[in-house]
Amino acid sequence: MEQLSELSSHLYKLLVGVDLIKEQRILCNSILQILTLMLKISQKRRIYQPHFTLSEEGLFQLSEAVEVCSNTRCNSTAFLGLQAVLMSTPPATIFRMDQGKLFKFLRWTVATAIQSKPTKVSEAEDSDSHMMAVSEKKTPEDSLVSKLLRWLTASVILRKISCKLSKLNNNSFLERQNLDSLQSLLEYCEPGFGDDAGCGCEDVIAASIFYLLQMLGFSHTLLPSAVSALCLLLFSDSPSESEFSVGFGISLPLLCSKIHCPAEANPAWRWVGGPSLAGQNFGYIDLALVKHITGHITSRGGTYPWNSVR
């Protein structure tokens, strides 16, 4: 394994550092396939064993190299590059990325995912309905759009959890095991976790997650997990925010208490290249909460990665 990791590291350096390599699409594709396979093998190793991983800077450089290799808007090299990114463990350190680099990285990933399987942007169905059930009849779970949404969602949740763990105490593990709802997760992470992350980075990530969720449809199985990540990004930095009413005379804490705690908050959770969510009981998502999140994102304005993706 160590020899394979070393070989993969050298191949990665060739891909991102040698311009001549980037001009050879077949060679680029082969390197990307090897990197993807190595990342997949690494995921199956025990947690205490050495792993082959890519940092947030490494992921950005990979995306830049693949973009050079991809001299058309839609080709296999771009898709292989995105598959390699999504096989890498969601980085809790993505918030440390320079805002300009993060914008370019998300623009490339979103554009590539959308081009892999065009999907019409969806509106929330039955807007007059008070409750919205989670459906499993939308985009397949193995689509790149679905995997990218799950990958970004996991990055956010892992980041927020890791900020809490930086102030580790003896009861932290037991506390995480007892988290049973999104509200309990918000309370666990407060107050002021993630303050070292730039507001611009959080806004771009939140807006990207929301856009991908629109692509899949608001009745997709990823809705509860995506809503959890959006709440962590948009509401948890301001304790008073949780006191706001979101309509129907219902408070935000009450709505969040009805959403199961995302699986990524479990200490035993591991990323395996886009695990299926089938069979997990998420219950219902209140449409009022979705509208509340929509209002927060649209009110912030700004230019986001998908503005140039169509």
Rounded to whole angstroms, the Cα distance separating 10 from 29 reads 15
Would you say residue 17 has pLDDT above 70? yes
Buried b (16+ CB within 10 A) or exposed e, 40-53: bbbbeeeeeeebbe
- Identify the H or E element spanning 223: helix 223-234
Query: Tokens for 129?
Result: 């309905």
How many CA atoms lie less than 13 Å away from 102 in the CB half-sphere? 23
Residues with Cβ within 8 Å of residue 187, at least 6 apart in sequence? none
Amino acid letter for position 108: W
Q: Torsions phi, psi of 292, nearest 5?
A: -65, -45
Lowest mean pLDDT among 103-107, 210-214, 292-296: 292-296
Q: What is 61-123 written as a DSSP string?
A: HHHHHHHHH--SSS-HHHHHHHHHHHHSPPPGGGGGS-HHHHHHHHHHHHHHHHHHS--PPP-
Q: Give residues with Cβ within 8 angstroms of 301, minimum separation 6.
A: none
Label residue 296 by pLDDT band (50, 70, 90): low
The mean pLDDT of the chain is 74
pLDDT digits (tens, 9 = 90+) for 185-194: 888 776 544 4
Task: Write out pLDDT tens, residues 210-236.
Answer: 999 888 887 667 887 888 899 888 875
- Closest alpha carbon to 160 in 139, 138, 180, 182: 182
Predicted confidence at residue 79, as pLDDT, reads 93
Point out the least confidently predicted range of 161-165, 211-215, 237-241, 305-309.
Answer: 237-241
| AA letter at 296 | H
Dist CA 80 CA 33 (whole Å): 7
Average pLDDT on 10-18 reads 86
pLDDT (average), residues 187-205 = 66
Cα–Cα dist 95/149, whole Å: 16
β-partners of residue 284 are: 133
Residue that wins the pLDDT comparison between 288 and 235:
235
Question: What is the Cβ-side half-sphere exposure of residue 236, based on CA atoms within 13 angstroms?
Answer: 30
Specify the higher pLDDT residue, 174 or 289. Answer: 289
Domain boundaries, the chain: 1-89, 121-308
More confident residue, 208 or 193: 208
